[in-house]
Each structure stands twice: as structure tokens, then as C-alpha cells.
Structure 1
Amino acid sequence: MTEPDETYDPTRHPDLLRWMGERQDAHERWAEQTSFAGVLDFTPASLGILDELIRETANSMEEVTDQRMTPFIQGAIWYVGEVFCRHQKMVWKYIPDIVSGELEPFFNAAGETSALDHPCVGAPDDPESYLYPLNMLRRILLTEDEVGNPVEETLSSIFANPFDEDDEDDGEELDPTGGWG
């Protein structure tokens, strides 16, 4: 891991640029292998198709993590990010770890996965705004939250509210009785 200097541009990391070029070059072949080449057109509506493909490929968040280096998941990561970039006015970024300030090895295939070892997308002028496409693919397979409540996320719902926070953060007052009173 290395700490970037003050001139670091998260949109210009050489590994990020190389990966983006590779993914763009491989996109047509990737789409043809899904049998949905004609409808994977980078529109927000096409996220529903990718959502189904991910659910056919993996049954859990851990499976997506384990498969993150496969051509299919790599293509899916790039595709999701591109849809957000094209329709949410976001850009690709490779940002340092928010705690250590260091850059993890890009897609660290040899080591344990980190939430920050892969690229993200975010607002061009806001270093605090970022979403990880790999984590979006993982989230759609989550069936319940940390307290056991059912969760049903889709790539389309994430796209509709990309920075949606928990109910506690939306300005609404919480019911002090927890709904029991």
C-alpha cells in the first residue's frame, strides 16, 4: 500500500485507466456471452437485465466477492459504473482508504478483498461522494439487514437513489417506542 501525494487525481490512476480501457475493449464480447447483447445498451433500464444475470450467477454476497476477478463480474462492475457515469453525471475514481489514506493494490487478487481495492464512481468535484459497483452487485443479493429485517434491493433501486441513507439520516424523527407503543 502506498500513500498518494497531494497532487493525486483519483480519476487518473494508471491502473484505473488501464482497467477501464480493457473493460471497454472487452465489452462487446462480454455482452454477447450474456445473450443480452442487444439490450445491454447502458440505459438505466438495462440494469434490470444485469440484476437478473447476477442473481443467476451468484447466490450470496460472498460468491460475488469470490468471483470478482472473473471476466463476467469484471464486465458487470464496469457496466454498472458506466451506467452511473453516463446517466448520473459521475466519473470513475480510485480513492485512498478513508482511514489509512493509503491506496490498496488495485483489485488485489492475491490478497484478501477490501472494500477499497476496486474502483468506484462518484461526483467529479466531490471527494466524499463515491459508490462501489462491486458492492452494488453484492448488495442486490442481500436478503436481510444486520438486524434481520428483509431487504430487497435491485440495481435499478440503487440507481434511483444512489446515495440513499438509512431512515435515521433522512431527517425524520424516529418513533421512541420502536413501533410498540
Structure 2
Amino acid sequence: MTEADETYDPTRHPDLLAWLAEREGAHAAWAAQTSFADVLDFSPASLAILDDPIRETANSMEEITDRRMTPFVQGAIWYVGEVFCRHKGMVWKYIPDLVSGQLEPFFNAGAETSALDHPCVGAPGDPDSYVYPVNAIRRILLTEDEVGNKVDDSLPSIFADPFGEDDEEMDPSAGWG
């Protein structure tokens, strides 16, 4: 981990820029490996197409975390984030840990659990505005909240309300700012 200083630009982290270029270059091949490549047009409606394949890939939020380095999940993270960027005016960011101020190793494949080793998207110039695409993907696998209430999220519903404004309080460690 390294400390982010006051000159740190979360949109210019070298690992983030390399990952974005890699994901953009791999998108066509990633989409071609799915049965829905012809309808992945980066529209908000296209997010609904990913719900079922994600649910077929993993049964729990923890499984998505464990599989975050796989080609399918990496492609899904990038695609979801790109839809937010293109239609919500967001930008990709790699932000320091909210508590420690440290920058975790980018996509730290060796970490057992990793809450903030992956990029987020958020409003340009607003450090308190961020959504982690991997957590949006994880969230659609949640069937009930911590008090047992039924949860029925989808990627389109998260896109419609990315900051959970209908919720009274959001847990920052869940990736919503």
C-alpha cells in the first residue's frame, strides 16, 4: 500500500489507465464469447442482459469477489462502468481507502478479501461521488439485506439509483459514496 498525496489524480493512476486500455481492447473478444454480443451497445437497457449471466457465474457476493480476476467478471466490471460513464457523465477513478487513505494494490489477486482494490466510477472532481461496478455486480446476487428484507436489485435498477438515494444510510464499505 502507498499513501496518496494531495497531488494524486484518481483518474490518472497508471494501473487504472493500463487496465482501461486492456479492457477496451479485450471488449470485442469478451462480448463475442457471450451469447449476447450483438446487443451489448453500452445503453442502460443493455445492463439487463448481464444480470442472468452474472447470476449463472456466481451464487453469492463472495463468489464474485473471489472471481473478480476472471475474464468474464473483468469484462463485466468494465462494461458496467462504461455504461455509467457514457450515460451518467462519470469518469473512471482509483481512489484510496476511505479509512486509511492508502492506495491498495490494483486488483490485488493475492488478497483473500479486497474491498477497494478495484476501480470505481464517479462524478469528475467530486471525491465523494463513486460507484464500484464490481459491487453493483455483487449486489444483484443479494437476495436479502442484513435485517432479512427481500432485495431484488438488477443492474438497471442500480443504474437508475446508483447512490441508493432511496436508502436512509449506505455503508461506504459496500462501495457507494
Smaller-chain TM-score bracket: over 0.9
Contact 2:90 2:124 survives alignment (8 Å) = yes
Q: Partner residue of 2:175?
A: none
* 1:80-126 per-position Cα deviation (integer Å, ceiling 9, x unaligned): 00000000000000000011000000000011232211000000021
**Partners of 2:168 and 2:39 in 1: CA distance:** 37
TM-score, normalized by length of structure 2? 0.93
2:56 is the counterpart of 1:34? no
Cα distance in structure 2, aligned partners of 1:153 and 1:56: 16
What RMSD, in angstroms, separates the aligned Cα atoms of the two structures? 1.0
Taking the aligned partners of 2:163 and 2:73, their CA distance within structure 1 comes to 23
Aligned to 2:53: 53
| Pair 1:119-2:119 in alignment | yes
What are the equivalent positions in structure 2 for 1:164-175 lying under 5 Å apart?
Answer: 164-165=164-165, 167-168=167-168
Aligned-partner residue type, residue 96 of structure 1:
P
Given the superposition, is the C-alpha separation of residues 44 and 166 from structure 1 closer, same or farther in structure 2, using an over 3 Å criterion? closer
Note the residue ranges of structure 1 that are not aligned, 5 or more in a row.
170-181
How far apart, in 2, do the equivalents of 1:167 and 1:127 lie? 21
Structure 1 stretches of 4+ moved >3 Å? none
Determine if contact 2:65/2:114 at 8 Å carries over to the other structure: no
Please, what TM-score do these two structures have when normalized by structure 1? 0.91
* CA–CA separation in structure 2 for the residues paired with 1:166 and 1:48: 21
Read off the aligned partner of 2:41 and give its amino acid letter: D
Tell me how far 1:166 sits from its aligned partner: 5.2
Q: Give the aligned residue type for 2:42.
A: F
Letter in 1 for 2:91: V
Deviations 1:42-62 (A, max 9, x none): 000000001111011111111
Output the CA distance in 1 between the equivalents of 2:35 and 2:48: 14
| Percent identity between the two aligned chains | 78
Report what 1:9 is aligned to. 9
Task: Mark the structure with the bigger radius of gyration.
Answer: 1
